[in-house]
Structure 1
Amino acid sequence: MSGVGEGRISRWRKSEFLRHILTLLTGTVAAQLLMLALTPVLSRLYSPEAYGLFSLYSSLVATVTVVAALRYDMAIMLPKHDADAKVLKRGVTWLIVAVSVVATVVCGLSSPIIANAMGKPDLAPWLWFVGLSIFTLAEISALTYWLNRRSDYKAIGINRVLQSGGTALAQLALALGKFGGVGGLIGGTLVGQTAALLILRRKGRDVRQGLDESQESIPGLFKRYRRMPLLNGPNALVDAVRTNGINLIIGIVYSQSMLGQFYMAWKLLEVPLGLINGALAQVFFQRLAVMERGTMFAFAKTTVYRSAVLGIIPFVLIYWLSPWAFPVVLGAQWADAGLIARALVPWLFMSLITSPISTIFVVTETQHLMLAHALVYTAVPLSLLFFLKGDIVANLTAVSWAMAAILVAFTVMALWVGRRFDRGLDLKAAVLEG
């Protein structure tokens, strides 16, 4: 038995896949630990109400950011030649700039209308910064795909530290400088994102060189990968509507303070999720983009298993400890966040398992299946939160278990698609056979 175990350990040490994961984990761990160290301080400097307003602002930004590049940013991974990918990246940046400018004008001029529709008029002055937030986040995402293509996981890991740590430190500095409230949270986030983007541009400066080596034009590449906006774009938008619609419903149906509690619980639960899943997802997508038929199903099944094993202990600890730990660590005003964190455990544990394998649908060009799943996955939590009345913790518990069940079905579907791909069969043939 010991020989078998030693052989397995030796294979793991030689595994390029695991080395890449560990490289990304190093940066992610450092970023998350820095954020965790500063959160107990920030939670005492900023109120749940301030975090509630910040959550609404972030929701608006995130909804537009996911489609700012029309999902062509993901296609940077796909061209056979780097020169084509560089041309595609330039086109992606132009799209991001155009969307950011439009968002600035629309959200700025309509800020009173948007803020009043949310029931939060105090948010209006800050909506002028939406376009800048969209640009920094979307461009960071595009550059990350380029570095992922180049397997420069060290640069990606460093960027995560800069973005997370820079944001937290800037928010702390603004609060100590008597510029707190939602303005401090938004301003600090912009500082952290801008600093991370500038460093990332330097790390990925080769993406701006040698574009003339490509025989492709930006319109030609957009046409080649038109399935990204046509199929993956709607899916990403539906996902954004789900995530940010939940914030909006909680803010309106319950209260701004309760939205702040939910935001804090979700933010801290993303720590184990980000530590494990962020690295797996980046490396998994890079491997899938160049994967030959015959190996996808086994690779996906192994990834599901690894994600479950890596996540089981952290999420069990979260379930039992969060109601006690949140008020002790963050302050008594965050007791509800601890109860919400426990309620969300089933949902986020299954999210850990399914997030890496979701890229199967992109690589196999079966995004229509992912879109069908996304519609159900969006309708269920929004409907439950809107129609259920009473205690928010009980309602979120029901939502969490419902979402976990949907993600189990999603896992089965992803593995099925991987098997069909390995066999060289398309999904239309599968439907006819069924």
Structure 2
Amino acid sequence: MSSSIGRRVAMWRRSQFLRHVLTLLTGTVAAQVLVLVLTPVLSRLYSPRDYGLFSLYASLVATVTVVAALRYDMAIMLPRHDADAKVLKKGVTRLIIAISVGATLVCGIGSPLIARALGKPELAPWLWLVGLSIFTLGEISALTYWLNRRSNYKAIGINRVLQSGGTALAQLALALGKITGVGGLILGTLVGQGTALLTLRHKAREVRQGLDASEESIRGLFGRYRRMPLLNGPNALVDAVRTNGINLIIGVVYSGALLGQFYMAWKLLEVPLALINGALAQVFFQRLSVMERGTMFAFAKTSVYRSAVLGIIPFALIYWLSPWAFPVVLGAEWADAGNIARALVPWLFMSLITSPISTIFVVTETQHLMLAHALVYTAVPLSLLFFLKGDIVSNLTIVSLAMAVILVAFTVMALWVGHRFDRGLDPKAAVLEG
């Protein structure tokens, strides 16, 4: 028995996959610890309504950011030669700049109209910063894919600490300097993201060198990977509409303060998700992008099992403790956030399981299946939240259970795609074969 355990420990030590996961996990843990330590302080300096307004701003930013590079940022992982990937990264940055400038003009000039439509006129002055937020997040994403391609997980981990920790520290400093309200949250976030981006550009400086070594043009590479905007772009946009649409519905149909409660619950529940899945998803995508047929199904099945085992205890504790812990740790005015956190547990536990394996559809070029899932996954929560009446916690409980069921179906579909890929079959032809 002991020799068997010893062999397994030795195997784990030799595993490159586990070393990469642990490298990313170290950075993620450090980032989340900083957030957890500072959140009880920030929750007493910024009100639920402040966080609600910030959530609306962040929703606008996130919706555009996911398509700012037309999903060509994910394609940085795919070229056989680094020189081609560098040219692709240059094209991605140009796309991000163009979209960011356009967003600045649209959201800035239209800020009074947008703010009135959201029912939050005090948000209008801050909408001029939407384009800057989109640029920093889009460029961070593109550089992260390059570092992932190069297996530089240490730099990715450091970036997470700087982005999360830097944001929280900047928001704290601004609040202590009497710059509170939604402005303090937005400006603090930009400081954290800007610091992370500058550091990331230094760590990935080789991506700007040796561009002449490639025989491909930006236009040629965009043509080669045109499936990214055509197939994966709609998936990303639908996901953004779902996530940010939920925020918008809660903010408009319920109230800004309740949106702040929801934002805080979601933010803190993302801690175990980030700790476990943030590392797994990055390494999983890198492994899948170079995986040969015959091993994908087993690898995906192991990922599902690993995520479920790692997540069951943290989420069980969240379910039982959050209604008590939130008002104690964050302050009495955050009691609703604790009850919302409990309601969200089934949904986020299944998200933990499905997040890494979702990249199967990108690698096997079956994004149309993921898009079909995404449409259902988006329509269900938005419809339920809009049409259900009464208490928001009860409504979110119904939404959470429905989403968990949909994610179970998604897991089965991902494993099915991996199985057909291993057999050399095209999942796109499965319906015709049936």
**Residue deviations 1:4-41 (CA, integer Å, cap 9, x gap):** 22222221111100000000000000000001000000
Distance 1:201 1:134 in 2: 16
Unaligned runs of 5+ in 1: none
* 1:109 has 2:126 as partner: no
Q: Corresponding residue for 1:223?
A: 223
Q: Corresponding residue for 1:142?
A: 142
Distance 1:415 1:351 in 2: 15
- Equivalent residues in 2 for 1:86-235 (5 A)? 86-235=86-235
Distance 2:120 2:89 in 1: 37
- Equivalent residues in 2 for 1:369-388 (5 A)? 369-388=369-388
Give me the TM-score of the superposition, normalised by structure 2: 1.00
**Residue deviations 1:58-84 (CA, integer Å, cap 9, x gap):** 000000000000000000000000000
Unaligned runs of 5+ in 2: none
Q: Calculate percent identity across the aligned residue pairs.
A: 86
Distance 1:313 1:161 in 2: 25
Amino acid paired to 1:406: I
Q: Corresponding residue for 1:43?
A: 43
Amino acid paired to 2:144: T
Shift of 1:57: 0.1
Shift of 1:433: 2.4
Distance 1:249 1:432 in 2: 39
Q: Corresponding residue for 1:270?
A: 270
**Residue deviations 1:388-418 (CA, integer Å, cap 9, x gap):** 0000000000000000000000000000000
Partner-residue secondary structure (3-state), 1:178: coil
Distance 1:113 1:371 in 2: 32
Shift of 1:3: 2.2
Distance 1:343 1:244 in 2: 19
Amino acid paired to 1:36: L
Amino acid paired to 1:420: R
* 1:69 has 2:69 as partner: yes
Distance 1:4 1:59 in 2: 50
Distance 2:74 2:429 in 1: 27
Contact 2:115 2:122 in 1 (8 A): yes
Q: Corresponding residue for 2:3?
A: 3
Count of residue pairs brought into register by the alignment: 434
Amino acid paired to 1:330: L
* 1:29 has 2:25 as partner: no
Q: Corresponding residue for 1:421?
A: 421
- Equivalent residues in 2 for 1:185-334 (5 A)? 185-334=185-334
Amino acid paired to 1:387: F
Amino acid paired to 1:19: R
Distance 1:216 1:302 in 2: 38
Distance 1:343 1:428 in 2: 36
Amino acid paired to 1:366: T
* 1:338 has 2:338 as partner: yes
Shift of 1:266: 0.2
Distance 1:17 1:205 in 2: 25
Contact 2:366 2:428 in 1 (8 A): no
**Residue deviations 1:229-252 (CA, integer Å, cap 9, x gap):** 000000000000000000000011
Distance 2:59 2:429 in 1: 40
Shift of 1:155: 0.1
Q: Corresponding residue for 1:83?
A: 83
Distance 1:431 1:58 in 2: 40
Distance 1:238 1:272 in 2: 25
Distance 1:225 1:182 in 2: 39
Shift of 1:427: 1.8
Distance 2:168 2:54 in 1: 14
Distance 2:153 2:222 in 1: 26
The root-mean-square deviation of aligned C-alpha atoms, in Å, is 0.5
Amino acid paired to 1:383: S
Partner-residue secondary structure (3-state), 2:407: helix
Distance 2:357 2:26 in 1: 22
CA distance 1:54–1:428, shift in 2 (3 Å): closer
Q: Corresponding residue for 2:363?
A: 363
